[in-house]
Amino acid sequence: MVHQQIWPMRGLESDDHTRLARYQEALAFYEGDQWQGRARRAETRLTINYARALVRKVSSYVFPGAVRFTVEAQASSSRQQGDEVGNRAERALAEVSAANDLPGLDLALCIESSVLGDAAIKVTWDVGAARPSVAAVNPATLIAEWEPDNPRKLTRMTQAYRLRGDAIARLFPEAGGALGWEQEYPVIERWSDESWSVEIAGQRARDVANPYGWIPYVTVANNPRPHAYWGESDLTDLFDLCRELNERMSVLSRVLALSGAPIAVLENVDGSEGITVGPGAKWELPEGAKAYLLDLLSGGGAGLHVEYIELLYRALHDLSETPRTAFGDSGRALSGAALEVEVQPLVQRVGRKRRMFDAMYAARNARLLDLLERFGGLELGGLRRTETVWPSVLPSDEESAVRNAVSLVQNGIRSRRTAMTMLGETDPEAEYARVESESFERRGTSPKPQAL
pLDDT tens digits, one per residue of 246-298: 999 998 888 777 666 666 667 777 766 666 666 666 666 677 777 666 666 66
pLDDT digits (tens, 9 = 90+) for 179-221: 788 888 999 999 999 999 999 988 898 999 999 999 999 999 9
Tell me how far apart the alpha carbons of residues 228 and 152 are, in angstroms, rounded to a whole number. 8
Our measurement of the distance from residue 31's CA atom to the centroid of its chain's CA atoms, rounded to an integer in Å, reads: 15
Quick check: 433 and 416 in contact, CB under 8 A? Answer: no
- The answer to whether residue 417 sits within a structural domain is yes
pLDDT at 351: 94
Quick check: 3 and 140 in contact, CB under 8 A? Answer: yes
- The answer to whether residue 405 sits within a structural domain is yes
Helix runs in 218-269, H state only: 239-260
Q: What distance separates the 2 farthest-apart alpha carbons in the chain?
A: 112
- The answer to whether residue 5 sits within a structural domain is no
- The answer to whether residue 424 sits within a structural domain is yes
Are β-strands 150-164 and 184-191 bridged in parallel, bridged antiparallel, or unpaired?
Answer: antiparallel
pLDDT at 1: 42
pLDDT digits (tens, 9 = 90+) for 384-409: 999 998 988 876 545 666 777 778 78
Proportion of the chain above pLDDT 90, given as a percent:
48
Range of the domain at 418: 396-452
Are β-strands 142-147 and 150-164 bridged in parallel, bridged antiparallel, or unpaired?
Answer: antiparallel
Tell me how far apart the alpha carbons of residues 182 and 297 are, in angstroms, rounded to a whole number. 62
Quick check: 32 and 185 in contact, CB under 8 A? Answer: no
- The answer to whether residue 435 sits within a structural domain is yes
User: What is the pTM (predicted TM-score) of this model?
Assistant: 0.80
Helix (H, G, I), strand (E, B) or coil at 366: helix
SS3 content of the chain, % helix, strand, coil (to 5): 45, 20, 35
Name which of 38-42, 54-58, 245-249 the model is least confident about. Answer: 38-42
Q: Cα-flanking dihedrals φ and ψ of residue 195, to 5°?
A: -140, 160
pLDDT at 355 over 90: yes
- The answer to whether residue 10 sits within a structural domain is no
Q: What is the CA radius of gyration of the chain?
A: 31
Tell me how far apart the alpha carbons of residues 369 and 132 are, in angstroms, rounded to a whole number. 9
pLDDT at 9 over 50: no
Domain count, the chain: 1
- The answer to whether residue 360 sits within a structural domain is no
Q: What is the mean pLDDT of residues 343-363?
A: 93
pLDDT at 398: 59
Q: Of 212, 200, 240, 21, give the one whose Cα is nearest residue 116.
A: 21
First-residue to last-residue Cα distance in the chain: 54
pLDDT at 139 over 90: yes
**DSSP H or E stretch at residue 125:** strand 118-126
Residue 412 DSSP label: T
- The answer to whether residue 200 sits within a structural domain is no
Tell me how far apart the alpha carbons of residues 270 and 253 are, in angstroms, rounded to a whole number. 32
